[in-house]
Amino acid sequence: MQIFVNTSLNESLRKSLKQQLPAGHSVFFKNEWSEEEQMAAFQHSQVILGNPPAAWLATAPPLLKYWQLDSAGFDGYKNLNLPNVAVCNLADYYSIPCAETIIAGIMAFYRGVDELTLLKAEKRWVGAPIRFRLNLLTGKRVVILGAGSIGQAVKKMLLGFDCQIHLVARSHPKADIHSPEELMAVLPQTDLVINCLPGAAKGFFTAQMIDTLPSAAVFANVGRGTTVNEAALILALQEKRLAGAVLDVTEVEPLPADNPLWQMSNVILTQHTGGGQASEDEGKISFFVKNFQRFIKTQPLENQKDLQRGY
């Protein structure tokens, strides 16, 4: 089979990928060829690794059978119709780093680490007065939006803090809240909302939901910025109807310089770094090789998704 690698890999990683693949398969690395050569190879490939432009897939390459995304999200491809192509994402691979990032941000907010970091840069010791403004994650009443691998990883970590947790999902068997109406009923008694929803859930967390939260509540987002009414969130933060927010994602990225979120002392921004780790590209290759071996052996694939359904 011919494998088209859209992911940009350095020379060492390209060599590593070739060495790990079973014999008898050719690999075409996009960043080694001209645009004309790239398109020709793409159209003649049976396998894709990475996230090519959606326009390239408007008409599916005739030989394409397996597509391994190198991301967790795939909302940019939701309108594609690829009925005979097995499509997989990397949600499980990114779940732990995403969960650790959002928990770290929430801890930084509750324990004043963001403020203390700024004081360090200013070489200014405040100390004792800050102690009485600090909060605890332990025992918080938490709603997690989304019961996928990231939501499950967040829940697992929060159990160590003795949090009371509600999991929200339309049909997932591990969720205990399945509708907006059920969610609205628990929001007034919620301390912390953690959004792990994919882009397919656009606009799910509404202005009404934000307004239903108590003023001491915190909103955190490691899903997609488009799944929450950002304008309503900003207004609630400005008017102190929410205590704060921890945002790995925003509606527009990079966040525009004139967005009020930059100036808010009660907001932590982690700049969509949630899935990051030093060995990220090596992990992508390892996941692809294992899943590709499953594919050629006609075994069940990990993280197979339905583009049209969004999960």
Is 166 annotated in the active site? no
List the catalytic residue out of 32, 37, 182, 253. 253
The candidate with the shortest Cα–Cα distance to 129, out of 115, 118, 109, is: 115
Backbone phi, psi, residue 301, to 5°: -90, 150
Is 111 annotated in the active site? no
Taking the C-alpha atoms of residue 199 and residue 2, their distance in angstroms, rounded to an integer, is 31
Residue 81's alpha-carbon distances to 57, 86, 213, 308, 310, in angstroms, are 9, 12, 39, 7, 12
Residue 192's alpha-carbon distances to 10, 137, 243, 297, in angstroms, are 41, 9, 10, 44
10 Å CB burial of residue 255 (0-12, 13-18, 19+) is middle
- Give the Cα-Cα-Cα angle 9, 103, 78 (nearest 5 degrees): 50
Q: Which helix (H) or strand (E) holds 139?
A: none
Is 44 annotated in the active site? no
List the catalytic residue out of 14, 224, 230, 251. 224
Taking the C-alpha atoms of residue 309 and residue 311, their distance in angstroms, rounded to an integer, is 6
The candidate with the shortest Cα–Cα distance to 266, out of 95, 110, 143, is: 110
List the catalytic residue out of 166, 230, 251, 272. 272
Q: Any alpha helices (H) in 163-270, and if so which ranges?
A: 180-186, 207-212, 230-238
What does the longest C-alpha to C-alpha distance in the chain come to? Answer: 67
Taking the C-alpha atoms of residue 217 and residue 91, their distance in angstroms, rounded to an integer, is 28
Active-site positions read: 224, 253, 272
